[in-house]
Amino acid sequence: MIKIFNSIRKIIGMDANYFYPALITFLIQIVSVISGVIAELKNRLLELYQKKEFGTFCITIALIQEILMGTYFLVFFYVLSLLGRFWKI
Q: Is the per-residue pLDDT at 89 higher than 60?
A: no
Q: What is the pLDDT of residue 56?
A: 65
53, HSE (Cβ side, Cα atoms, 13 Å): 0
The count of other CB atoms within 10 Å of the CB of residue 45 is 14
What residue spans define the domains of the chain?
A: 26-87
| 21 alpha carbon, distance to own chain's centre | 15
26-85 residue pLDDT tens: 777 787 777 777 777 777 777 766 666 555 666 677 667 767 777 676 677 777 777 776
CA distance 31 to 42: 16
| Residues whose CB falls within 8 Å of the CB of residue 41, separated by 6 or more in sequence, listed in order | 61
Indicate the pTM of the whole model.
0.47
Is the pLDDT score of 21 beyond 60?
yes
Q: Which residue has the higher pLDDT, 16 or 31?
A: 31
pLDDT at residue 7 in the model = 78
